Amino acid sequence: MQIQLQHARQKDNEASLLWPRERLTPGEGVRVVHYDPQGAKIVLTAPRGEMSAYSGDPFAAFIAVFPEKVIPRPLLRPEWFAPRDNEDGTATFMPYGIRKIEALLLNAGIPREDIACCHPDNLERFVGPKTRIVGITSMDPMGLAYVSVTYSSMIAVPGETADAREFRRVMENPVFQKYEPTIIVGGAGAWQIRHAGMVEKWGIDVLMHGEGELTVVDLFRRALAGETLDREVHGSKVPIEFIPTIRNGASYGVVEITRGCGRGCQFCSPTNRRRHSLPLDHIMKEVATNVAAGSNEVFCATEDLFLYECGSRFEPNPAALEKLFTTIGRHPGVDYVHLSHIAIAPVVYDPTAVERISPILLEKTRYTPAFRPHYKEPFVTALFGIESGSIRIMKKYMRGKIWPYPIEQYHEVNVQGLGILNDNHWRPMATLITGWPDETPDDTVQTLELLDKMKGFNVFFVPLMFIPLEDTKLRNERRVSLELMTPEQWDVFATAWRMNIDNWAPHQQPLFTFAALFAYYAYFRWKHGKKVFAPIMKIAKFPNFNGMPPKFPLKADGGIDPRYCREDEGAIRRAEPARTLPVLQEMQAVPPVLGPR
């Protein structure tokens, strides 16, 4: 069957076609392909950690960013990494990016029996003398992303992260040396391999960066034809009509609801992508595909949930959001709905957006007392970025972070937005970044002040060190090192984790106290020195140990900076900005929004 390359959307309408030598398993909707025992022409795979669904909890995957040597064995459950295969040996679920590549190749007319998407433990079954291409995806192949670098550096145990170990395990599979296929590596972390100097050692032929819809098919056709390939290929911004729907199940039941952002944050890569809201019929095709593969959950992939069908000024669209989640939730077989990211400004701009979708999401949340006994009630979660409490830092690197509100109201927007989320039974996660290229102690203190204003809210903070990711505008900036971290920056980490324990696991405080004290005296004081004493004592819940004040940071010499001392606590409260913020319609003047870039 010869099918010429056409628009992705046109080909999606033919998704029900059965390709040659393909049959349906009796009683199931799983397509079984008879692959050539000499190897499929194209094999697509990913590391085991990125193949896993972690028992249906997407946020459990964060465990794989820690050094492999320090992860307790019981936490790395064997069932997490075992293959989950179809009858023909291909993987039932694959990372979403691989499924997009698979769809692009199928839509371009490449026969299904020439494309095998498999678990890395099954590479020997599909890679053979007739294999021409092996495509591999990875988010963090060398452990150089934000969370990996931050916590590997702090733990300071030699060795790889669990994710990096699993990627190396794929690359060192002997079938690559035996059959010498063209190896193409893509995904958000592809740049890390060049940065680590491992491209030649692992025999990688091509590193693929960015969006692939306009470049992948041509790249794979040239590789199949034996043509000379560029060592690095960069995708371009993609019109929405070229984004295909997946043809087989994605890990976590991922579906893309929006792509791109447009707020212009210089440390972030999605701002470089064209902003799209995928049509509802497109989204529901992918939901149906995942459910047919056996998934009972849907993970909505987006840079900001409230960008879905939003206005030109980033105004959320409550009606469209309500329709989206009502439609997803009513689809037969969908038991759970997960969210990836949100922005906080739309929550304040129009709280009804949160109010209208919360009842639907609460009915479909996995985070209930039945899932974790210490959860007192069901809640919704998603990740948003605080990044810094410094108005100067925000103006310089993230001026559009809370558009259409002025950046000077950054604290108020975050505090009020978090309150609205909590009122609607959301318990979000929030990233904080310290160590910005020109961050001063005053900047860090403003972050500590914002944290202080958030005490009492249900939120899980993820404090991070600044990392100059290659595909961002700050790629040439310096990376902060632990040796150069100031006492204020250490205090950001300690304060955030102190609040996390108080909010999420107060019943386990004795365990954290013991672990903190043991870690300091047995290891950290030798590795990081006395500068980590105060932060670890705060985590151990000894904030006033040795005279350390709980609210204000120490100077480098261990004394108290008098600029942050006040005798009158009432004066401090009166000096704080108002903690309520009117919605946009009530504001007299609103600055122009920052459009997509």
Q: What is the pLDDT of residues 44-88, one digit of tens each?
A: 999 988 887 776 666 666 666 666 666 655 556 666 667 788 899
Type of residue numbered 206? V
Residue 370 lies in a domain: no
- pLDDT higher at 554 or 183: 183
Residue 435 lies in a domain: no
- Which of 95-99, 142-146, 165-169, 269-273 has the lowest average pLDDT? 269-273
Residue 137 lies in a domain: yes
Residue 100 lies in a domain: yes
* Residues 243, 259 contacting (CB under 8 angstroms): yes
Averaged pLDDT for residues 10-18: 38
pLDDT per residue over 186-245, tens digit each? 999 999 999 999 999 999 999 999 999 999 999 999 999 999 999 999 998 899 999 999
Residue 270 in this model has a pLDDT that exceeds 60: yes
Furthest C-alpha separation in the chain: 82
The CATH number of residue 90's host domain is 3.40.50
Residue 86 lies in a domain: yes
Averaged pLDDT for residues 425-447: 95
Residue 41 in this model has a pLDDT that exceeds 80: yes
Q: Closest Cα to residue 528, out of 214, 69, 181, 153?
A: 153
Residue 509 lies in a domain: no
- pLDDT higher at 112 or 522: 112
Residue 56 has a pLDDT of: 67
Q: Hey, is 43 helix, strand or coil?
A: strand
For the chain, what percentages of helix, strand and coil (3-state, to nearest 5) are there?
Answer: 45, 10, 45
- Relative to beta strand 258-259, strand 254-256 is unpaired
Residue 393 in this model has a pLDDT that exceeds 90: yes
Residue 229 lies in a domain: yes
Token pair belonging to 140: 């963090």
Residue 575 lies in a domain: no
Averaged pLDDT for residues 349-358: 97
φ, ψ (nearest 5 deg) of residue 248: -145, 170
pTM over 0.95: no
pLDDT per residue over 452-466, tens digit each? 999 999 999 999 999
Sheet with strand 182-186: strands edge to edge: 115-117, 42-45, 133-137, 182-186, 206-209, 232-234
Averaged pLDDT for residues 545-556: 45
Residue 179 has a pLDDT of: 96
Q: What is the overall mean pLDDT for the chain?
A: 83
Helix (H) or strand (E) holding 233: strand 232-234
Residue 70 has a pLDDT of: 61
How many CB atoms lie under 10 A from the CB of residue 76?
15
- Which of 49-53, 346-350, 393-397 has the lowest average pLDDT? 49-53
Number of compact structural domains in the chain = 1
Tell me the residue range of the domain where 235 lies: 35-242
- Which of 139-143, 153-157, 574-578 has the lowest average pLDDT? 574-578
Residue 170 in this model has a pLDDT that exceeds 70: yes
